[in-house]
Structure 1
Amino acid sequence: MKFVKMQGAGNDYVYVDCFKEEVKNPSEFAIKVSDRHFGVGSDGLILICPSDIADVKMDMYNADGSRGLMCGNGSRCVAKYAYDHGYVKSEKFTMETGAGIKYIEVDAKDGVAEYINVNMGKALITSEFPEKILINGEEKEFIGIDVGNPHAVYYVDSLEELKSMNLEKVGEYYEKHKRFPDKVNSEFIYIENRKNIHMRVWERGSGETLACGTGACASAFATMKKGHCDTNVRVHLLGGDLDISLVNDEVYMRGKAEYVFTGEIKF
């Protein structure tokens, strides 16, 4: 089976072109290819598929084989692949996801997609503002945000505190807290100023990743609603930067997507 490895802000997935290939057991395949020692190595698997209701479809699976509803960085990679390979015929097109139809606009250079702007739709606040929970006996405040998948946004007081967090040790306590029966993506935010925020993320089903597009959207939206940043903000992630804006109550995400390598794997 042929595949392509792509990344958006360091959030890397294995992509399979299902216009040409068939994946019969995607959950099992996701576990196999995501393994960074015995597989290809990735944050998960994304299938690029034809759609009956949009121009292209994204079908996403986490590294543990669980199915995801939406992946912001993944949507940009799917958009780039579909545009570069001629599966869509315009710079503006639609994408079917588990979280509904998303509207895409491509900034092309020399015939290939360079920047991709994704209309992520309306974000929803799903908690008290803020809500308090206990993590290992310590009280933490978060803001719950839904952008097609669930997020809990936490704030820290300094960039040094953000960098020093041992998410490998504590991440699962946030992800699997009883407050979140379906588990949750957890974002940790430092506000530099009204134009820049810094983020680390622990993704449900994948652990800490270098970036999370929906997490950047959730974090920016929460910070905007707190009144602590403008409606256009740059989110600095471990793997790169994303620009998030709020226009008429809809969240937009802009960033690059890049190919890493292509390959073939037996399964």
Structure 2
Amino acid sequence: MRIHFYKYQGTGNDFIMIDDRERTFHATQEEIERLCHRRFGIGADGLILLRQEPDYDFRMVYYNADGREGSMCGNGGRCTVRFANDLGLFEDTTTFIAVDGPHKATATPTIISLKMCNVSGVDRREDYHFMNTGSPHYVTYVDNVDETDVVGIGRAIRYGDEYGPKGGTNVNFVEVLNENHLKVRTYERGVEDETYSCGTGVTACALSAHVQHGWEGPVTIETLGGTLQVTYNQTAADQYNDIYLVGPAVRVFEGTIDI
């Protein structure tokens, strides 16, 4: 099967994008994993299919780099919005559906603003917070995130006794730079490595900072791949809606590949 693909990135979180409105893409888990492999394939943190969906502009179907269909990916969502905009599916605003439900988004030439799912409940532990922002996220604070063993500690938590039996979790390490300003590094399950950025992860970190420090949005988050902002509205204790993930999403290149 010959596939025409596009490559997009959002703050360094990169994705293979496929226009699958005709439902012609059929690949096994192993084939998707190989496409995402950085030595033997195209190379990406995940693969995303854009499909037609009644009553929406499109459907986003996301696969992790391990070839398994994943939970919501925030930066992947922003890249899919940019892809749909490039395909001419909408002009300025869009509504689409993903694995965690409907999403709204707006696009300018440089910025994608994506409405995330509502968050209900933050598990407050002594050393960390845990919540689901479309994907499960563990958030812990460190003094110097640049010197943190993100992969070693992240993998131990992801596969540990607490979260391993539940399918694992993403793990975020947060350094407070200033008021409403964070630096974040993330270990992502499914990629099983540190990524340059994680959209649902920085969303969790912004809400955690509200719990920890009482900050109101917007919160600016520095990642290895660039800068994102998160805005939100608290409706009750640990209840949040109108959550927006804001930042760039860029088309890198396109090509064809045989699988």
Give the TM-score normalised by structure 2: 0.91
CA offsets per residue over residues 177-229 of structure 1, 9 Å max, x none? 22111110110000111121000000111121000000010100111122253
TM-superposed deviation, 1:74? 0.7
Is the aligned partner of 1:266 residue 2:258? yes
Distance 1:144 1:258 in 2: 30
Matches within 5 A, 1:52-71: 52-71=54-73
* Paired amino acid for 2:80: V
The aligned counterpart of 1:241 is 227
The aligned counterpart of 1:15 is 17
Distance 1:54 1:239 in 2: 30
* Paired amino acid for 1:252: Y
Matches within 5 A, 1:190-205: 190-205=175-190
Distance 2:19 2:187 in 1: 28
TM-superposed deviation, 1:126? 4.3
* Paired amino acid for 1:121: C
Matches within 5 A, 1:1-267: 1-20=3-22, 22-25=24-27, 27-88=29-90, 90-107=91-108, 109=109, 114-127=110-123, 129=124, 131-132=125-126, 141-157=127-143, 161-180=144-163, 181-206=166-191, 207-247=193-233, 249-250=240-241, 251-267=243-259
Instruction: After the TM superposition, list the runs of 4 or more consecutive aligned residues in structure 1 that deviate by more than 4 angstroms.
Output: none
Distance 1:151 1:168 in 2: 15
Equivalent pairs, count: 248
- Any unmatched runs of 5+ in structure 1? 133-140
- Any unmatched runs of 5+ in structure 2? 235-239
* Paired amino acid for 2:190: G
Report the secondary structure of 1:15's partner residue: strand
* Paired amino acid for 1:75: G
Distance 1:212 1:253 in 2: 11
Q: Are the aligned partners of 1:79 and 1:116 in contact in 2 as well (CA < 8 Å)?
A: yes
Distance 2:190 2:133 in 1: 17
Cα RMSD between the aligned structures? 1.5
* Paired amino acid for 2:134: G
Q: Are the aligned partners of 2:128 and 2:140 in contact in 1 as well (CA < 8 Å)?
A: yes
Distance 1:95 1:168 in 2: 33
* Paired amino acid for 2:104: Y
CA offsets per residue over residues 68-91 of structure 1, 9 Å max, x none? 121111111110111121122x41
Distance 2:180 2:153 in 1: 29
Distance 2:179 2:118 in 1: 21
Q: Are the aligned partners of 2:12 and 2:197 in contact in 1 as well (CA < 8 Å)?
A: yes
Distance 1:146 1:47 in 2: 23
Q: Are the aligned partners of 1:198 and 1:237 in contact in 2 as well (CA < 8 Å)?
A: yes
Give the TM-score normalised by structure 1: 0.88
CA offsets per residue over residues 117-170 of structure 1, 9 Å max, x none? 11103123342x2x25xxxxxxxx11011111110101012xxx3111222333
Report the secondary structure of 1:68's partner residue: coil
Q: Are the aligned partners of 1:46 and 1:61 in contact in 2 as well (CA < 8 Å)?
A: yes
The aligned counterpart of 1:135 is none
